[in-house]
Structure 1
Amino acid sequence: MENSQAVETGNYVLVDYTGKFEDGKVFETTVKERALEAGIYEEAREYTPLFFRANASQVIKGLDKGVLGMKVGDEKTLKIPPGEAYGEYRDYMVQEIPLDRLGLETPPEAGEKITTPSGREVKVLASTETHATLDFNHELAGTILIMEVKLVSIIR
């Protein structure tokens, strides 16, 4: 019976999750009702369980390890430190880049996201007529994440 089996390394799983900050604000979910409730619903998005291989580095470490030992129907709340999520915030990842190297003719607005010539999306912290100060950290770097997880299925 599927319910009696626990997730092991290498199993393929389907999980529903809701990601929150420590203050309780929801930033991501696979559950449509939760997205509506939190005010983050996107009509174009499909709200379906996340599929991944357990403990195979396909998702953040804290979630990857967190599902191990769970059985179908189990729910748990994981408190994931930055080192097991999107890493620590690194000051050296904030860089001032000449606009011409970014292929920009006009300075971008502080707070907006731009795509670098290499295809990376980054946040603009400040800009002048000649340079833009860009933050190359992941937007959740340095953040403790709270993940409410429900194991929907183990696919063998």
Structure 2
Amino acid sequence: MTIDIGDSVTIEYTGRLDDETVFDTSRQSVAEETGLVEAQPDREYAPLTVDIGDEQVIEGLEEGLIGLEAGQTETLTIPPEKAYGEPSEDNIQEFETDALREMLGGQTPEEGSYLEAENGSQGEVVHVDEEVVRVDFNPGLAGETLTFEVDIIDVN
């Protein structure tokens, strides 16, 4: 049975950047080998089940699964426009330093630290001075071409 929209698909996967850095995986052994376990100690590494058409994963991964079958292994290369897009200046927000300090209970953020917006998105503080703080809310993988090694475990 080939995968189509409406199917529930269970996969094992490893995601890599162009330089072969592993940025995500469902496999415990790969997570241990690459240091992901130390970076995310509370995460459970297990097969992922995706409902095709429900936009639960990035567009390019979902599209790449369509037409595959249970038992198949495939390498999918996903360009930025089908993943997390290109970095955009629109995703860099400026805050008045005094106002942001007040929101943070008197603390002044430091460059390189991360803030969480009310909508749950994370941003990196990229500039701090007496007047303004700039926070970059671009996704961490924006601008990256992603390669996924995917094993199709089950299709329902």
Q: TM-score, normalised by structure 1?
A: 0.89
Residue in 2 aligned with 1:128?
A: 129
**Aligned letter for 1:50?**
L
**RMSD of aligned C-alpha atoms?**
1.6
Looking at structure 2, the residues matched to 32 and 144 of structure 1 have their Cα atoms a distance apart, in angstroms, of 24
Answering whether residue 97 of structure 2 is matched by residue 99 of structure 1, we say yes
Looking at structure 2, the residues matched to 123 and 143 of structure 1 have their Cα atoms a distance apart, in angstroms, of 17
Are the aligned partners of 1:107 and 1:132 in contact in 2 as well (CA < 8 Å)?
no
> Alignment partner of 1:96: what SS?
strand
Question: For 1:79-126, what per-residue CA distance to the aligned partner results, in whole angstroms no more than 9, with x for missing partners?
Answer: 101110011111222222113443133321111111234543211111
Looking at structure 1, the residues matched to 120 and 97 of structure 2 have their Cα atoms a distance apart, in angstroms, of 15
The sequence identity of aligned pairs, in percent, is: 36
Looking at structure 1, the residues matched to 99 and 144 of structure 2 have their Cα atoms a distance apart, in angstroms, of 30
Are the aligned partners of 1:21 and 1:146 in contact in 2 as well (CA < 8 Å)?
yes
Looking at structure 2, the residues matched to 121 and 81 of structure 1 have their Cα atoms a distance apart, in angstroms, of 22
Looking at structure 2, the residues matched to 69 and 92 of structure 1 have their Cα atoms a distance apart, in angstroms, of 36
Answering whether residue 35 of structure 2 is matched by residue 39 of structure 1, we say yes
Q: Return 109-118 or 142-151, whichever deviates more.
A: 109-118
Change (3 A) 1:36 1:55: same
> Alignment partner of 1:83: what SS?
helix
User: What runs of 5+ residues in structure 2 fail to find an aligned partner?
Assistant: none
Q: Return 129-138 or 60-69, whichever deviates more.
A: 129-138
Residue in 2 aligned with 1:146?
A: 147
User: What runs of 5+ residues in structure 1 fail to find an aligned partner?
Assistant: none
Looking at structure 2, the residues matched to 115 and 100 of structure 1 have their Cα atoms a distance apart, in angstroms, of 18
> Alignment partner of 1:137: what SS?
coil
Looking at structure 1, the residues matched to 107 and 54 of structure 2 have their Cα atoms a distance apart, in angstroms, of 43
* Count of matched residue positions in the alignment of Structure 1 and Structure 2: 151
Answering whether residue 80 of structure 2 is matched by residue 79 of structure 1, we say no
Change (3 A) 1:46 1:123: same
**Aligned letter for 1:123?**
E
Are the aligned partners of 1:19 and 1:28 in contact in 2 as well (CA < 8 Å)?
yes
Residue in 1 aligned with 2:21?
A: 25
One of 8, 11, 17 as aligned partner of 2:7:
11
Question: For 1:6-57, what per-residue CA distance to the aligned partner results, in whole angstroms no more than 9, with x for missing partners?
Answer: 1111100111111110000001100001111112114422111111111332
